[in-house]
């Protein structure tokens, strides 16, 4: 049975994980996530995930509306915002590029998964988990307002996304 309950952002937990720590991209991400204890991610105020497909419309001569839609490439992107600055998100973007020593050799960019789990405490046994696989940050920003909280944000791109809906059966 599919979940029909609604959730609030406060019902969610955000977890960063590495799919394959044996790869250079996963190794750097794993070390950063472990060192900065980013599982779960704390003080996050905004997570946005976008899935965009390049649908192509086919228009027949003499028709104003398309007669068919053909699926195209899939693009997955998003944004994470949090009220905490400790260098973790910047290191997950730059990898060794965030170190004080400059290297003339190429280095890998960290790759990881973001898992968003939604579970309302008022409805036990029902949860939804969205896993964004192969995430790489592509931009990082810092907002330093005069009289508000310091916020950092990072945008990302990903390889694919999966969703798992769980509803425990009552005995």
Helix/strand/coil (H, E, C) string of the chain? CCCCCCCCHHHEEEEEECCCCCCHHHHHHHHHHHHCCCCCCCCEEEEEEEEEECCEEECCCCCCCCCEEECCCEEEEEEEEECCCCCHHHHHHHHHHHCCCCCCCCCCCCCEEEEEEECCCCCCCEEEEEEEEEEEEEEEEEECCCCCCCEEEEEEEECEEEEEEEECCCC
Contacts of 142 (CB under 8 A, 6+ apart): 85, 150, 151, 152
Residues 6+ apart with CB under 8 A from 168: 124, 125, 126
Domains, the chain, in order of start with CATH, read 10-166 (2.30.110)
Q: Using one digit for the tens of pLDDT, what is the confidence trace for 64-91?
A: 999 999 999 999 999 999 887 788 888 8
Note the pLDDT tens digit of each residue in 23-46.
999 998 998 988 888 878 878 888
pLDDT in tens, 112-129: 999 998 888 887 788 889
Q: For all residues of the chain together, what is the average pLDDT?
A: 88
Is the pLDDT at 1 greater than 60, yes or no? no
The dihedral built from the CA positions of residue 24, 29, 32 and 35, taken in this order, carries a sign that is: negative
Please check the confidence at residue 11 and state whether its pLDDT lies above 90: no
pLDDT the model gives residue 111: 94
């Amino acid at each position: 049975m599919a979940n029909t309950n609604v959730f609030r952002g406060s019902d969610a937990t955000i977890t960063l994980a590495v799919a394959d720590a044996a790869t250079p991209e996963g190794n750097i991400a794993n070390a950063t996530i472990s060192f900065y204890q980013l599982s779960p991610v704390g003080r996050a105020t905004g997570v946005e995930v976008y899935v965009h497909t390049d649908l192509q419309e086919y228009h027949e001569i003499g028709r104003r509306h398309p007669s068919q839609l053909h699926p195209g490439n899939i693009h997955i992107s998003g944004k994470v915002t949090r009220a905490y600055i400790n260098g973790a998100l910047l290191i997950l973007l730059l990898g060794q590029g965030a170190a004080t020593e400059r290297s003339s050799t190429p280095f890998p960019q960290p790759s990881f998964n973001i898992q968003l789990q939604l579970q309302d405490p008022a409805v036990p046994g029902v949860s939804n988990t969205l896993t964004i696989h192969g995430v790489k940050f592509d931009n990082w920003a810092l907002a330093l307002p005069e009289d508000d909280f310091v916020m950092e944000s990072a945008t990302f791109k990903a390889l694919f996304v999966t969703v798992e809906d769980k509803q425990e059966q009552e005995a």
